[in-house]
Amino acid sequence: MVTIKSKKEIELMREACRVVALTYKELEKKIKPGMTTWELDKIAEDTMRSLGAIPAEKGYDIGIRGVPKYPASICVSINDEVIHGIPSKNKIIKEGDIVSVDTVALKDGFHGDAARTFMIGNVSKEARRLVEVTKQAFFEGIQYAKPGNRIGDVCHAIGEYVHSQGYSVVREFQGHGIGKEMHEDPGIPNYGKAGRGIRLEPGMTLAIEPMVIQGKPGILELDDGWTIITEDGSLAAHYENTILITEKGAEILTIL
């Protein structure tokens, strides 16, 4: 069931999303070659908690037997890691890496969710283009996130743009509704047919998140039960924001 948020709930969503945006400002200032992904995780958790929020990903239970609860505060995925990379004291960020970070903050009962891919130092032209196309795919999609349009219009726009640039979208994972729960209806794949799916209405809050692979679309899951990598070893990037559907269109809540 897709929830329509009240004015009060929207204000609470704004605050949770503001925490996420401020967390990214802090990460952007401090991320650098030589630091571990565990250090990045600690910066994010400390920032969220200082703003009265908790890292919602920490302890998240996917509900599959044998898969442990997520052990960290953010997901940090480097180069060929697509999503859900687990921070570690042994994983060092290097010059030329692209580092995707997915952050969810929970404050006063509501979630904010966003992802960014950071380019560390002098990255290759190919890596830079992938990151830029992934970000632009989000903006291509939200042009259609307005009342009266269907969710498939957003999905179609993202997929068509990514494919036009010679890249692949991840088909096994998708964006989602968001609010009191981290993942709510509707599911929002990064591909699809225009004119399909639910009709968008003011008050819907959605996490739109292109996940783009430089090579073929195949993915693999590592033995930790969380980390997803590209099957062919090619680079991947991730860009996400929580948006609000208004009478005029999409308002991005996780950008200050």
Provide the pLDDT confidence category of residue 94 given band limits of 50, 70 and 90: very high
Provide the pLDDT confidence category of residue 66 given band limits of 50, 70 and 90: confident
Q: Please report the pLDDT score of residue 38 as a whole number.
A: 98
Task: Please give the radius of gyration of the chain, using alpha carbons only, rounded to the nearest integer.
Answer: 17
**Identity of residue 72:** A
Average pLDDT, integer, range 89-106 = 98
pLDDT of residue 169 exceeding 90, the answer is yes
pLDDT of residue 188 exceeding 90, the answer is yes
Domains in the chain, ordered, with CATH? 7-252 (3.90.230.10)
The dihedral region occupied by 52, where left means phi > 0, alpha psi between -120 and 50, and beta the remainder, is left
pLDDT of residue 112 exceeding 90, the answer is yes
Q: What mean pLDDT is reported for the chain?
A: 97
Sequence-distant (≥ 6) Cβ neighbours of residue 157 within 8 angstroms: 140, 141, 143, 144, 194
pLDDT of residue 65 exceeding 90, the answer is no
Q: Please report the pLDDT score of residue 27 as a whole number.
A: 98
Average pLDDT, integer, range 119-138 = 98
Average pLDDT, integer, range 176-202 = 98
Q: Please report the pLDDT score of residue 179 as a whole number.
A: 98
Structure tokens at 89: 């004291």
pLDDT of residue 126 exceeding 90, the answer is yes
pLDDT of residue 64 exceeding 90, the answer is no
Phi first, then psi, for residue 241 (nearest 5°) are -140, 155
Sequence-distant (≥ 6) Cβ neighbours of residue 22 within 8 angstroms: 47, 51, 256
Q: For residue range 72-88, what is the model confidence (pLDDT) as tens digits?
A: 999 999 999 999 999 99
CA distance 188 to 154: 8
CA atoms within 13 A on the CB side of 74: 30
Q: For residue range 218-252, what is the model confidence (pLDDT) as tens digits?
A: 999 999 999 999 999 999 999 999 999 999 999 99
Quote the percentage of the chain above a pLDDT of 70: 100
- pTM here is 0.97
pLDDT of residue 155 exceeding 90, the answer is yes
pLDDT of residue 44 exceeding 90, the answer is yes
Three-class DSSP category at 102: strand
pLDDT of residue 148 exceeding 90, the answer is yes
